[in-house]
Amino acid sequence: MENKKSFDYENTPDRNSEMSAKAQNIIVKVLQIILGFIMAIFHM
């Protein structure tokens, strides 16, 4: 059990680093679009 946990902890950052970076970029873009709509609504 302990070996499996440490093995998973060592492997997940390497495997998920690219995916998490892409996900963060997508999330940032979505948030910027949402903020843009909110600002447009408030200015109208």
Residue type, 15: R
Residue 25 confidence (pLDDT): 93
**Token pair of 5, please?**
């946990």
**Token pair of 26, please?**
């997508």
Q: How far apart are CA 31 and CA 19, in angstroms?
A: 18
Q: Count up the domains in the chain and report the number.
A: 1
**Token pair of 35, please?**
């903020």
Q: Which domain holds residue 8?
A: 1-44
Phi then psi dihedrals of residue 24, to 5 deg:
-65, -40
Q: What is the pLDDT of residues 1-44, one digit of tens each?
A: 555 555 555 555 556 677 888 989 999 999 999 999 999 999 87
